[in-house]
Structure 1
């Protein structure tokens, strides 16, 4: 476990109750180390935005605490927030400004002198690909351009921690791809917390995950550990070869001892193995069967190993444990 001096974020028993009736966050304790790219996941109302606001010091916790760079975060910790770059969901900007004017304004708020801020904002505008629009009114920006401006604004103070809430929300395919590539580049030198409903985005850019459900932390660990919770016994294989050979191959695969399901759909073979099966051994037999029948394997992939499936499985199990956990807590009391 990392020493406290190495932690970027640490929370202990972090709890937020609104108006003495809505428990938005309940007893969340976790740590985030340098270089972590954390995907913050959970259904609507799970407490993700509340968690981010508490880490940013925009709200006071009802109980527990949050520390950022070893210092307790609070609404008064302005100097601490200077080390954080934040993008809210659907960021809004003054419509009458241009990117240059707006970024210069933000840099002034951070107290950057002219000889520092002018080259910095020029570099950032170029980095987020807004150079052709640097003098255009923000009022006419597309969602993708607005998102890129938000990125530039969040980086103007050279923060050590980036907290981005739904950074790909509302973006088209090209803008989303550009955002994901930027996150990958930043991950080489920054610590990031990314809240997202798009689980394929988290799967692509994050190395750790935190799952909240109804205000409670139900998972915190590496993305690989999250995906490892799903049984690795369902595969899809794309095949190539003569149709007769493929048909005979499927029959031979069905005859393998530990194959419980084998269905061919347009040269894509859907295979399920027994729960207690040694995957490597059966897959080796399956590949040998393909070779024996002179059928080529184009691709093979594990079904249900993606972050989305692991996340859904985790939340479903947590929902099912709700009453049991309540009963056990009552008994313990």
Structure 2
């Protein structure tokens, strides 16, 4: 990742951020990162990794045990209401008063922000249209679908025109259509705002994020661009969908297996799983592979780089971290 810009240009900065609950549970340990304007950060990690704790510290909902978090170059604390006014937050599974309608709820939130009546009305109308709730604006929230509830949460998080959006699992529980609408909205907002998105859906992260932070057992094990995360893991691992008669494909497979640059070649039906060495440029090896397929009259239908998938990169990273943890335990046992 490029060197951090001057402090004045950072949206979020943390230094050795740590949170210990009840003097025994380390929820977050020594997390240091910086988020520049225009970033769309995917916050990744398994359940219990510390993601929600990290977000709550950024929001000033919890006090850190050690270290600090700055938002817009000011230290975030539970009393920093001026900073929270510049943040739009959506928790996981947002809940709303069942007796209200979208209009009454958003009007209530706008009044909490001190927005005068002449500003509230057009702002509410604009947001309700933007999140496609106009046909339901007078209906009780109690009867909303998960997709409608998610759209209302988005409207509420945008009502104060924030510069930073922090959304915790924004596509959780949504059907395909609602999820697609949410992702398109995130792309639109990313053109003018900075976003932090906590998500278990790595396909979503791959589509909308440009940076990633990976937490595991309270430790920040990766922070950088999404390309860095994807590029460092299995960069020479491919899947090839092939077409041709089986005899020709089998003959080509035999040639590929004999190449010293090919470390694995496994054929399943007409899909070839191929791993290559990392010590030579992949373009040179792939050119040779394409020539072998051509010589054997095998057509390449599709080529996928598994190393360029966020999900695979994330899983490999977690696997490496678990292996390091096991190694540390063995070392401790040997030293005892």
TM over 0.5: same fold?
yes
SS at match of 2:308: coil
Partner of 2:172: 169
Q: Distance in 1 between matches of 2:236 and 2:45?
A: 26
Q: Which moved further from structure 2: 228-237 or 97-106? A: 228-237
**Which of residues 298, 308, 311 in structure 1 aligns to 2:311?**
308
SS at match of 2:220: strand
**Which of residues 181, 190, 193 in structure 2 aligns to 1:190?**
193
Partner of 1:262: 265
Query: How far did 1:248 drift?
Result: 3.7
Q: Distance in 2 between matches of 1:260 and 1:25?
A: 39
- Within a 5 Å distance, the mapping from 1:66-215 to structure 2 comes to 66-215=69-218
Partner of 2:38: 35
Query: Given the superposition, is the C-alpha separation of residues 189 and 311 from structure 1 closer, same or farther in structure 2, using an over 3 Å criterion?
Result: same
Query: How far did 1:242 drift?
Result: 4.5
Q: Distance in 1 between matches of 2:326 and 2:185?
A: 43
Partner of 1:65: 68
Give the CA RMSD over aligned residues: 2.0
Query: How far did 1:239 drift?
Result: 2.2
Query: How far did 1:280 drift?
Result: 1.4
Query: Given the superposition, is the C-alpha separation of residues 106 and 180 from structure 1 closer, same or farther in structure 2, using an over 3 Å criterion?
Result: same
Query: How far did 1:312 drift?
Result: 1.9
Does structure 1 conserve the Cα–Cα contact (< 8 Å) formed by 2:238 and 2:305?
yes
Partner of 1:46: 49
Partner of 2:252: 249
Q: Which moved further from structure 2: 291-300 or 130-139? A: 291-300
Q: Distance in 2 between matches of 1:259 and 1:328?
A: 35
Q: Which runs of 5+ in 1 are unaligned?
A: none
Which string of whole-angstrom CA distances, capped at 9 and with x for unpartnered residues, describes residues 74-133 of structure 1? 111111100000000000001111111111111111111222111111111111111111
Q: Which runs of 5+ in 2 are unaligned?
A: none
Query: How far did 1:324 drift?
Result: 5.5
Does structure 1 conserve the Cα–Cα contact (< 8 Å) formed by 2:234 and 2:306?
no
Query: How far did 1:294 drift?
Result: 3.6
Which string of whole-angstrom CA distances, capped at 9 and with x for unpartnered residues, describes residues 302-324 of structure 1? 12431122222222222332366
TM-score normalised to structure 1 length: 0.93
Q: Which moved further from structure 2: 273-282 or 294-303? A: 273-282
Q: Distance in 1 between matches of 2:325 and 2:296?
A: 51
Query: Given the superposition, is the C-alpha separation of residues 91 and 190 from structure 1 closer, same or farther in structure 2, using an over 3 Å criterion?
Result: same
SS at match of 1:43: coil
Query: How far did 1:263 drift?
Result: 3.3
Query: Given the superposition, is the C-alpha separation of residues 16 and 263 from structure 1 closer, same or farther in structure 2, using an over 3 Å criterion?
Result: closer
